[in-house]
Amino acid sequence: MNIVYPKAIIAGVSLLLLLTCESDTTQPPVGDENEETPLSLFEPADGECLFILGQASESHMRAYMSELRPTPTPAGFAFYTSLSDGAIQSDLPRYKSFMDAYPNTVLQLAIWTGERDYGQPGYYLDQIRGGVFDANIESLASACKEFNKPIFLRFGYEFDGWHNAYPPDKYILAYQYFVDKMRSEGVSNVAYVWHSWAVSPYYGTEDYPAQYPALESDQEVIPELWYPGDDYVDWVGLSIFGIGWGSLASNERVQWLLDFSVARQKAVMLAETAAIKTTGYSDTDWVIPNTTWFENVFDLCNENVVKAFTYINVDWEGDNPSSSWGDTRLQSAAPGVINYWLHNIEPFVHADSSLYDRIHYP
């Protein structure tokens, strides 16, 4: 099938979903504060946070580096692929060619695993677990080893999103199958990121009763329903889009995931973020007008639990006329936003000769 890569396909999804954060009464257990927490794979030390530039558009990423901040290079770059239609074979060599020009960097790679628009919930996950894409997983494993770089891999990103509608059981089984297959191929330079969309999880009992069994009366719909287990997760990932215009310190969905990551002893990655326009109306002249979104996100990063921050530096509406998310390229933002960004991104971890030592690679 022809893949339409992330966010462009969901730009029409109601932004009310992005801005709605219902409270959770069920909280994950918090570990003993006196215990020393082991580092996740490729996790920097406390007080350090990797800056990763995304997503997918090589031209927009190069423009950021040439027009806004030529040096130092971001710690890494974010790309997307899928397990079908020869995507691995065409995408990974191109990504490697791009990244070979930037030594001492990491790859953040997302694996597309189907969307509700293309079939019954979890149809693609069933195919993965059924072995349909085994040869392509083997090709991915081989390509990952050839990168000779640390890779953060997001399988089935935004697993709890309405746009994906992944039944928890199908997602867990496919996730475990995929990771087991990668490990059986001897891949050791990949950290696996369990990536929530960080707003109200979708559980489609009414839409798809056959795929979503009724929960117990006292059971809440929380991301943990999709959790594949500690042995399969290195990092917890979050998306921060429209919700970034509000206080993230009081956002109960975000805080639940942060608490969960601490309880499970997993580092946190802001895996997809952008200061998008939330009006729902197209405006090709819109650029990021002020620093509010960045203030909220940087405050979250400064909590020390967040160890990697990925910013999507693209022109949503220019690249995709169906989008209403504006132009989130930093080099196009209002001057005050650019100055704020340049000052506040400086302390983040970028690419240099010490990066791999700082994240304990290899």
Contact 77, 53 (CB under 8 A): yes
Residue of 45, 78, 61, 79 whose CA lies nearest to 355: 45
Distance CA 362, CA 360 (A): 6
Spans of all domains in the chain: 8-26+44-358
Q: What is the pLDDT along the chain (362 residues), one digit of tens a residue?
A: 334 444 434 444 444 344 433 434 345 555 455 556 789 999 999 999 999 999 889 999 999 999 999 999 999 999 999 999 999 999 999 999 999 999 999 999 999 999 999 999 999 999 999 999 999 999 999 999 999 999 999 999 999 999 999 999 999 999 999 999 999 999 999 999 999 999 999 999 999 999 999 999 889 999 999 999 999 999 999 999 999 999 999 999 999 999 999 999 999 999 999 999 999 999 999 999 999 999 999 999 998 899 999 999 999 999 999 999 999 999 999 999 999 999 999 999 999 999 999 999 99
Whole-model pTM over 0.85: yes
Q: Is the CA virtual torsion 16, 244, 313, 308 positive or negative? A: negative
Which CATH number applies to 8-26+44-358? 3.20.20.80
Number of Cβ within a 10 Å radius of residue 164:
24
Q: Is the CA virtual torsion 119, 124, 130, 134 positive or negative? A: positive
Number of Cβ within a 10 Å radius of residue 188:
10
Residue of 132, 125, 129, 153 whose CA lies nearest to 42: 153
Which tokens is 108 given? 């953040």
Please provide the distance, in angstroms rounded to a whole number, between the alpha carbons at the two ends of the chain.
Answer: 36
DSSP code for 83: S
Residue of 311, 289, 286, 287 whose CA lies nearest to 300: 311
Residue of 102, 123, 100, 104 whose CA lies nearest to 113: 123
pLDDT at 32: 53
pLDDT at 56: 86
Strands 76-82 and 50-54: parallel
For 173, the enclosing helix (H) or strand (E) is helix 168-184
Distance CA 275, CA 54 (A): 13
Residues 58-70 as b/e (b if ≥16 CB within 10 A, e otherwise) read eebbebbbeebbe
CA 202 to chain centre: 17
